[in-house]
Structure 1
Amino acid sequence: MNEKSIPQNTDAEENILSSILLDASAISKIADNLPVDAFYLSAHQQIYKAALELYYQDKLTDIMTVSSWLSDHKLLRNVGGRNKLAQLANNKVSADNIDSYTELVLEKYKRRQLIEAGNKIVELGFDTTIDLEKVIDLSEEKIFRITENKTDKFSPEAISNSLALIVKQLGQEVTPALSTGLIDLDKLMGGLVKEDLIVIGARASMGKTWLGCHFANHVALSYNLPVVFFSAETNKEQLTKRFLAMHAKIDSHRLIHNKVYKSEIAELSTALKVLNNSPIIIDDTPASIQNLTRMRSALRRVKYERGSLGLIVMDYIQKLGDRAASNRAQTIGKFSGAFKDLAKEFNCPFVALAQINRGVENQIDKRPTMADIKDSGDIEQDMDIGLLLYRDEYYNSNTSDKNVIEINVAKHRNGRTGVCKVIFDAAIGKFSDIIV
């Protein structure tokens, strides 16, 4: 490519540097948004890097301090000497416009990134030693990284940076968790914490899918955040009818069979309006073809189109992978580890539903333990929180716990464990607190 045709705006770059040298407060407006390599010219990169280093040390970024820093690091000659800095300082620009200059520089930077990514994708396309699925994943990742316009949040940094953020959050009483919508459960598990892998384990018909729907519905409507529900178990129509049942208070079994009474039409209409505006996204890719590449691709697209994710739900983990594999535990373990990675990558809680082994049916006390999770493998090791569900009514018709579900916080990496009871209407999937 001809050098002159490479996207760049060196005038805007000079204006940014001039603003920084002339106004001590200018750099604070752009330090977190403008990476060093956004500058096209190497000299400009080095001058900006010097200013950033001084800024992060709470020092002035005037011509004298920047010149001294560059000289100490044997870089002053590389940038054009003191004459270059004097030229920038004499460039009478208004620091009030630094945001506009930054937008111009970032626009050209993104174009250069796009060109670079395109060249890499072409190379990947020709490299037949890499699986096609991996090629597609790597190609997509390169494009989405450009759209995010962020530095790598997982890059190493001093603990002082984390401490500063924590102090700020404490001062503002910022909570790192989203409410579950259930008071007693929130008290036990501390809510749905970002980057946590939360596993809900239960036997069939205990209510684990309903609890996953409850979390998804609560986060989507209470926080107006996108929720992605991967349903390897049921199709999107059946899952949608579950959400509809929750809102319209119509028996889900009848809804699935399209049986609605005339007296229910008004509530059904209201429920349709509410859900139509909710940021719940359902992916019912069959388990036989669902994989981590497809999941990550779907999550990237939702994040790109709708913004930061509120919650990810997978129903359910044992449906995934090669079900004929000789070592199912190892296969499932790979997924649970990857789910934890996705929670960190997308900065939101990941709720994975899991089946409990049939063996609990032969026990006197049919309440499951963590060891009862089917093909457990590394699931228990990877999870941050493990919830086990039990309904006594399912086994004992004479129980005093009618319409009650026990939620056992059996594992809690960063908190306490314990059991709470909540009201559960299995017909419409409604969870509510027990009012004492």
Structure 2
Amino acid sequence: MSNMAEHAGIPQSIEAEQAVLGALLRVNDAVDKMGDLQAKHFVREDHRAIYSEIMRLVMAGQPADPISVWAGLEARGGAHIQGLGPYLNQLAQTVPSAANVGKYVAIVVDRALLRGVMHVADSINGLAQNTKGRSADEILDAMQTMVTSLAERRVRNEPKMIREILGSVVDGISDRAEGRAFAMATGIPSVDRLFNGGLRPGQLVIVAGRPSMGKTALTSDIGLNMAENYSVLNFSMEMEGQEIASRALANRGRVALSSILGEIRPDDSAAWAGVTAGVVKLDDIRFAIDDTPAITLLELRMKAKAWKRRHGLHVIIVDYLGLMTGGEGEKRHEQIGSYSRGLKALAKELGVAVIALAQLNRQVEGRPDKRPMLSDLRDSGEIEQDADIVMLVHRPEMYEPENEDVRGYAEVLVRKQRSGSLGDIPLRFEGATCRFEQWTGGTPSPAAPRGRGRERFEP
């Protein structure tokens, strides 16, 4: 058996480990109370081996008692099995009761976490002393990754009978019937109708399009609308804060962006009045900007959690997935997939809606019908899997610049919605003020072929 002295001075509870193993040997059904306990949580090697063998037998539907566990361990061999036969009997006989096994499990997991903290602290110290050519920022990122990984302990979520869940479902029906549903309106009526009132906490919304289609303008417009009632945090890796603020001023003040970025004549009273009105409107909303370039998912998580703690948070905008760094995997599509998974997890963890921008690949350029499809999502099909809503932005005038009929016409093609219908939303894009509004009138000609089974949402 393992030498107890080798574990001296580290967080441990040998008694709790013995109590867990003894309870399992006496009552195999105690396995239902193990929660997230794993073999690695035991400090002693022989205890890890015993726990693994018990779980193997129970999962196979076989009895796990001192004799069967010993037989399995002996068949596998190893230095740690010496003297385990009598020890297994001792474990089963000395545990007073299996009733409190849940408390013993919590102690074992707690001590394992404390040992993990010590290990991370030692590793961080080693990184600082031996950088191996890495910069301080790279060391800090590695440190944050280790700490976050250690902190991400899954809370056990027990199954519930459907009757226990129906109560909240009925409450939601009542709230919607009485106008109290917690859907955050985007400020664009046709979008809100298709989304049953707006966006909801926990959702990951992907807004995708080819370059210059207006996906940044659309998400910024939605974010500014929502910031009148909710707290919005915009992570922009493509534009600096001043450029985003200038676009917002043009949007809210209805002043041409070219005038704001250029020069407004002293006698242009309309433009100056618009600037003043825009400043007043922006002063009253909760719209924050973080323009950290090439941000990692970990940095984004930490900043979002801190912002929510200090200021409250309802909506996160990420512009855009392709510019994030530090993802898991060596291939680009694996990294992009890790970002979308992480953002979906963050949306659920913080109870916020996350709007993330994504690029479409060039395949759309080679088709007669330029309207994008889900398969055009660039770098990773996992984006489609993780998203609750996928909106594809399409502006025909980008392909038909001489066609006056499609000037300013834009479509938001909703090609995925977990809890709602799909549809095509016609909008008007005012490029000068970076603003999207309702489209009035019929579909401009020539009409692009429409997909089957899609509902067209008129304003």
TM tier, smaller? 0.5 to 0.7
Q: Which residue of 1 aligns with 2:7?
A: none
Matched, 1:198 2:205: yes
**Which 5+ residue runs of structure 2 have no aligned equivalent?**
1-97, 101-112, 128-138, 442-459
TM-score normalised to the size of structure 2?
A: 0.61
Q: Mapping of 1:14-29 within 5 angstroms?
A: none
Matched, 1:301 2:297: no
Q: Which residue of 2 aligns with 1:158?
A: 160
Structure 1 Cα separation of the partners of residues 262 and 187 of structure 2: 29
Deviations 1:147-191 (A, max 9, x none): xxxxx9874363454332222232233424211222222222332
Q: Which residue of 2 aligns with 1:329?
A: 333
Structure 2 Cα separation of the partners of residues 164 and 326 of structure 1: 45
Q: Secondary structure at the match of 2:258?
A: helix
Q: Which residue of 1 aligns with 2:433?
A: 428
How many Å apart are 1:138 and its aligned residue? 6.8
Matched, 1:179 2:179: no
Structure 1 Cα separation of the partners of residues 279 and 355 of structure 2: 25
Among residues 406, 410, 415, which one is paired with 1:410 in the alignment? 415
Q: Which residue of 2 aligns with 1:114?
A: none
Q: Which residue of 2 aligns with 1:133?
A: 141
Structure 1 Cα separation of the partners of residues 419 and 172 of structure 2: 18
How many Å apart are 1:239 and its aligned residue? 0.8
Sort the Cα spacing of 1:133 and 1:322 in 2 relative to 1 into closer, same or farther, 3 A: closer
Structure 2 Cα separation of the partners of residues 157 and 279 of structure 1: 38
Sort the Cα spacing of 1:260 and 1:328 in 2 relative to 1 into closer, same or farther, 3 A: farther
Query: Is the 8 Å Cα contact of residues 332 and 377 (structure 1) preserved in structure 2?
Result: no
Deviations 1:169-220 (A, max 9, x none): 3223342421122222222233212211111111111100001101111111
Sort the Cα spacing of 1:138 and 1:227 in 2 relative to 1 into closer, same or farther, 3 A: farther
Structure 2 Cα separation of the partners of residues 141 and 300 of structure 1: 16
Sort the Cα spacing of 1:155 and 1:74 in 2 relative to 1 into closer, same or farther, 3 A: closer
Q: Mapping of 1:379-390 within 5 angstroms?
A: 379-390=383-394
How many Å apart are 1:317 and its aligned residue? 0.8
How many Å apart are 1:248 and its aligned residue? 1.1
Give the partner amino acid of 1:182: I
Q: Which residue of 2 aligns with 1:348?
A: 352
Aligned length: 311
How many Å apart are 1:326 and its aligned residue? 6.1
Give the partner amino acid of 2:175: Q
Matched, 1:391 2:391: no
How many Å apart are 1:361 and its aligned residue? 2.1
Q: Percent identity?
A: 28
Among residues 283, 286, 294, which one is paired with 2:290 in the alignment? 283
The answer to which of 253-262 and 385-394 deviates more is: 253-262
Q: Secondary structure at the match of 1:431?
A: strand
Q: Which residue of 1 aligns with 2:15?
A: none
Sort the Cα spacing of 1:260 and 1:233 in 2 relative to 1 into closer, same or farther, 3 A: farther
Q: Which residue of 1 aligns with 2:219?
A: 212
Q: Secondary structure at the match of 2:247?
A: helix
Q: Which has the larger radius of gyration?
A: 2
Structure 2 Cα separation of the partners of residues 317 and 135 of structure 1: 23
Query: Is the 8 Å Cα contact of residues 188 and 222 (structure 2) preserved in structure 1?
Result: no
Q: Mapping of 1:66-105 within 5 angstroms?
A: none
Deviations 1:236-288 (A, max 9, x none): 1101111111011111233234546632112212211221232111111111x
Q: Secondary structure at the match of 2:380?
A: coil
Matched, 1:361 2:365: yes
TM-score normalised to the size of structure 1?
A: 0.64
Q: Mapping of 1:304-319 within 5 angstroms?
A: 304-307=309-312, 309-319=313-323
**Which 5+ residue runs of structure 1 have no aligned equivalent?**
1-72, 76-116, 146-151
Give the partner amino acid of 1:126: D
Q: Which residue of 1 aligns with 2:51?
A: none
Structure 1 Cα separation of the partners of residues 145 and 157 of structure 2: 21
